[in-house]
Amino acid sequence: MSADEDEAFLRISKLTAMLKKATIQFDDLSFSFDVNMVNAMEPTRLKNGNFIVSYNLTSGYAKGEREIYTTNANMTNAFNLTVAYYQNNNTLIATDTITIRASAFNDGTPTLDDLGINTNKYQPKYYNNGVATNLQGIDLTYENLQTLQALIINYTPIVYNLAVNYFMDNGSGIYNELLTRTQTFTHLDL
């Protein structure tokens, strides 16, 4: 026997030992199978160092969770999401249509920016950064975005606080604080 055949028989022996009781998964299936070897056929030599080996395996069931893919009615791996930008929860500023692709979620949870959604795209002057109001408390997943069908981005006015202190000269050049007033306002109040 050559060194190639010795190596081949070692590999066949290892494979046979592993398949006596194993869990296998095929590339085109999302399940794994617990298997037991019933028997192994005698290796058939094709040429020096190359063999065909056949095994009879039994499996009572498949285990693992089925992968579920949700797609739109067109059976694609993408859908269009309407993004509506509001000012003060009631004034529509603009709408955009963004294509959300399932592949964007392959490497974990993307951010809205990763999906092409700029929450500050239409941010008015003197307003806070945009907040996705109907996404709060919901995981950012392909399925959840598809269920929403529209994402609401809201801008609220920046709130300013103005503190005014009133002082009075007591006659000796010393000023005593009489009163402090705080006023809260937005740019719209000016």
For residue 10, is pLDDT > 60?
yes
pTM: predicted TM-score of the whole model, two decimal places: 0.50
Instruction: Give the tens place of pLDDT for each residue, 20-63.
Output: 888 877 777 777 778 888 888 887 777 666 777 888 878 776 65
More confident site: 46 or 95: 95
Q: Are 77 and 103 in contact (CB under 8 A)?
A: yes
Average pLDDT, the chain: 80
Domain residue spans of the chain: 3-63, 78-155, 159-189
Q: What is the dihedral of CA 6, 12, 14, 15, to 10 degrees?
A: 160
What percentage of the chain exceeds 90 in pLDDT?
A: 8
Q: Cα(105)–Cα(141) distance, rounded to whole angstroms?
A: 7
The whole-number pLDDT of residue 85 equals: 92
Q: Which amino acid is at 124?
A: P
